[in-house]
Amino acid sequence: MGFELGDISVRRVIETEGPEFDPRRFFPDCDSGALDRHRPWLEPRFLDPASGKLVFAIQSYLLRTRHHTILVDSCVGENKARSYSPDWNMRGDTSYLADLAAAGAPAESIDFVLCTHLHPDHVGWNTRLVDGRWVPTFANAKYIFARDEWAFWRAKSAKHPTKYDDGAIRDSVLPVVEAGQALIVDQDHALDDQVCLEPSPGHTPGHVGIRLASRGQRGVLSGDLIHNVLQCAHPQWSSAACFDKALSARTRQGFLDRAAETDTLVMTAHFPSPSVGHVVRAGDAFGFRFRE
Ligand SMILES: [Zn+2]
């Protein structure tokens, strides 16, 4: 579950992987004709034949650069009340922190937590419940939130604490800010000479990707700019969870166009394992060549 990109070590820490969402609900533009056309290559790896649901990984990327130990996105977490998915509600006794330690990074060793955006499946382990209070899980880390994303969700959560973010800002972001561990940065913030943010708005207003560069090799953690391999074949399909579906589609199309012209390694948030690969052209759309 790991590889090197130049001298950056990349490890995936998987919280869950399995059937998660009905494709026609998740992608409002997906109809049964399109689904049937793709079914032969989708099943069973990307579409679970038994449940008819898309297979999703929910995971963090652990990056170790010359300078820093960085966790990108922090999954669903434990003890979080979530109505969006019964699988996400009040999880307990998971192996996530042990798995992170086994990947070489106990919680106290994390220097930075980067969130591509502030949805519940990307911020959950930001905090954990200790003596009835939400406290930052990564005691020695600074948590990096893109300014536009933070501004949007702070305002939404202040008015409607659970309506839009399922409570995630209140239990997984605000406690980090209140503890003085948040760094609110520009959308194109460079963390160091190997890691920088890149704006990719649409799924959420301040969504960012994370660009990596080391020794002539390039990669990008794409977050929820793209959720599923089906969107390589249909870049215009935005998810039901996308805030601005038209902008999400434009951002995705541009991203795929550029990625297909380069050897940039794309590290997706939710594609099934190994989740990482290269975008290739396929007719007037795209395909994804996994790095097996
Ligand atoms: Zn997500």
CATH number of the domain that residue 193 is part of = 3.60.15.10
State the average pLDDT over residues 146-158.
Answer: 96
Residue 189 parent element (H or E): none
Q: Look at residues 255, 203, 182, 191 and name the one whose alpha carbon lies nearest to residue 63.
A: 191
In this prediction, residue 269 has a pLDDT band, given cuts at 50, 70 and 90, of very high
| Cα 287 to middle of ligand 1, angstroms | 20
Q: Look at residues 12, 57, 70 and name the one whose alpha carbon lies nearest to residue 196.
A: 70
| φ and ψ at residue 181, rounded to 5 degrees | -100, 5
HEC-encoded secondary structure of 111-161: CEEECCCCCHHHHHHHEEEECCEEEECCCCCEEEEEHHHHHHHHHHHHHCC
Higher pLDDT, 216 or 1: 216
| Cα 122 to middle of ligand 1, angstroms | 6
Burial label for 66, CB within 10 Å (0-12, 13-18, 19+), is exposed
| Cα 215 to middle of ligand 1, angstroms | 30
pLDDT at 127 over 90: yes
pLDDT at 195 over 80: yes
Indicate the average pLDDT of the chain.
Answer: 97
| Cα 281 to middle of ligand 1, angstroms | 25
State the average pLDDT over residues 97-124.
Answer: 98
Is-contact 70 110, C-beta < 8 A? yes
pLDDT at 184 over 80: yes
| φ and ψ at residue 36, rounded to 5 degrees | -65, -35
State the average pLDDT over residues 45-56.
Answer: 97
In this prediction, residue 164 has a pLDDT band, given cuts at 50, 70 and 90, of confident
Is-contact 104 11, C-beta < 8 A? yes
The 10 Å Cβ neighbour count of residue 199 is 16
Q: Picking from 84-93, 121-130, 144-153, which range would have the lowest pLDDT averaged per residue?
A: 84-93
| Cα 42 to middle of ligand 1, angstroms | 20
| Cα 75 to middle of ligand 1, angstroms | 8
pLDDT at site 1 = 74
State the average pLDDT over residues 162-174.
Answer: 94
| Cα 119 to middle of ligand 1, angstroms | 7
Share of the chain above pLDDT 70, in %: 100
State the average pLDDT over residues 14-36.
Answer: 96
State the average pLDDT over residues 231-244.
Answer: 97
| Cα 116 to middle of ligand 1, angstroms | 9
pLDDT at site 35 = 96
In this prediction, residue 292 has a pLDDT band, given cuts at 50, 70 and 90, of confident
| Cα 58 to middle of ligand 1, angstroms | 7
Q: Which domain holds residue 98?
A: 2-290
Tokens of 141: 């880390």
What's the total number of domains in the chain? 1
| Cα 282 to middle of ligand 1, angstroms | 25
C-alpha separations of 278 from 43, 103, 108, 219, 228 in Å? 21, 24, 33, 10, 14
| Cα 25 to middle of ligand 1, angstroms | 15
Tokens of 193: 């000479």
pLDDT at 14 over 90: yes
What DSSP assignment string belongs to 225-292? T--STHHHH-TT---TT-SSHHHHHHHHHHHHHHHHTS-PEEEESSSSTT-EEEEEEETTEEEEEE--
